[in-house]
Amino acid sequence: MSTHRTRPAPCPTEVVVGSATVAELRGELDVVAALRLSARLDALTAGPSPDLVLDLRGVSFIDCSGLGLLCRARNRVLARRGRLRLVSDSAAFRRILRYALLSGVFEVHPDLPAALSAGSDGDPAVTAVA
């Protein structure tokens, strides 16, 4: 009998800060995670003018599937005249974006306060997303 390990579905932790939805992603953003996260990110980007902040500081690995997931979220947000911001303080992540020719495509901030102040409505209230 073989041992088959399965990973739990990566569910982002989400909060609303002002008009922005902040989703904290953790672990590996690979093909398995991208398949599991795709529907949730589609839901977060479904409405008109979505304002989404993806906190990637807890991401330990990202491959082309993970980059594809981020690009899909970006395209959906832009098609709906919204905004997507990424939070990452990782030099390796910035290097991956540069090598993939995506460094000028995403709005990347080193920490959450910087990302939120870059588009704040002046409403600092934080509430959980159901």
Q: Which domains does the chain have, with CATH numbers?
A: 13-120 (3.30.750.24)
How far is Cα 22 from Cα 1, in angstroms, rounded to an integer? 42
What are 105's two structure tokens?
């495509």
Nearest to 67 by CA among 106, 40, 23, 118: 106
Q: pTM score, two decimals?
A: 0.82
Which pLDDT value is given to residue 119? 57
97 contact partners, CB below 8 Å, separation of at least 6: 67, 103, 105, 106, 108
> Token pair 């290097």 is at which residue?
95
CB 59 within 8 A of CB 27: yes
Above 50 in pLDDT, residue 36? Answer: yes
Which pLDDT value is given to residue 11? 67
Which pLDDT value is given to residue 10? 59
Above 60 in pLDDT, residue 128? Answer: no
Q: Collapse the DSSP code of 40 into the 3-class scheme (helix H, G, I; strand E, B; otherwise coil) and give the result.
A: helix
Cβ–Cβ contacts within 10 Å for residue 75, how many?
12
Q: What mean pLDDT is predicted for residues 81-99? A: 96
Q: What mean pLDDT is predicted for residues 53-58? A: 96
Which pLDDT value is given to residue 13? 85
What are 7's two structure tokens?
């990973």
Above 50 in pLDDT, residue 126? Answer: no
| Average predicted confidence (pLDDT) for the chain | 86
Of residues 3 and 99, more confidently modeled: 99
Strands 13-17 and 126-128: antiparallel
